[in-house]
Amino acid sequence: MNESAESTAVVTGIIICDHGSRRAQSNDSLRHVAERFAMRFAEDCEIVEPAHMELAAPDIATAYRQCVERGANRIVVLPMFLAKGKHWTRDIPSLTQQAAAEFPDTQYQIAEPLGLDDLLLDLLKKRFDANDQPVLASGEDDPRLEDVPPTVQRVQCGSCPFEYDRATGAVTIKPGSLLDKS
């Protein structure tokens, strides 16, 4: 292969991206997904890196840089998200664009989120059939909350712009959230 053909060859790097978590065990799961993806599709995808959108390392910029350092000049971000929410429409594109700006000779693409696919339905059915989690009676303590003090147990995700009042069932806009107009 001559030098000009070699310099224009497209080498693709894959970034498998999730949200990121404060729990190391959750973040380790993404690393395992990336490793297994790389092994399973080694013939087509030689460069695979994990990235967390926020809360944990490596972030998208680090994964992008690692792909480039490994020889990639085209990066495909594969979001491990179910739907086209704000992370897919705004956050991941913004973070990827910022990362790409450091490497002007690269191009990137952000794939569709997982979405509704028969494979996902099959996986849900597999989890249902496994029946390997405890069955709890109403009022019984969930063993997953064993080390979580009641004061930090939550009704909803802390980043949600809404508040839920258990006593009344009312849902209101959280003061200071993006939806708060006061």
165 and 79 in a common domain: no
- What are the Cα distances from residue 91, in Å, to 15, 18, 101, 113? 15, 12, 16, 13
Residues 41 and 111 in one domain: yes
Q: How far is Cα 113 from Cα 18, in angstroms, rounded to an integer?
A: 10
Q: CATH number of the domain that 42 lies in?
A: 3.40.50.1400
Q: Compute the Cα dihedral for 54, 27, 18, 75 and give only its sign.
A: positive
- Same domain (yes/no): 33, 111: yes
pLDDT digit string, tens, across residues 62-103: 999 999 999 999 999 999 999 998 999 999 999 999 999 999
Residue 139 lies in a domain: no
Is 138 a domain residue? no
Asked whether residue 32 is domain-assigned, the answer is yes
95 and 173 assigned to the same domain: no
| Total count of domains within the chain | 2
The average confidence (pLDDT) of the chain is 87
CA distance 42 to 64: 19
* Percent residues over pLDDT 90 in the chain: 62
Q: Which domain holds residue 167?
A: 149-182
Q: Is residue 90 part of a domain?
A: yes
Q: Kindly state whether residues 45 and 93 are assigned to the same domain.
A: yes
Residue 160: name the closest of 151, 150, 173, 149 by CA: 173
Residue 110 β-bridge partners: 77
Q: Is there a domain that residue 126 lies in?
A: no
Measure the CA–CA gap between 45 and 108, rounded to whole angstroms: 15
Q: Which residue has the tokens 């009344």?
A: 168
pLDDT at residue 146, as a whole number: 83
Active site residues: 19
Query: Which is more confidently placed, 126 or 142?
Result: 126
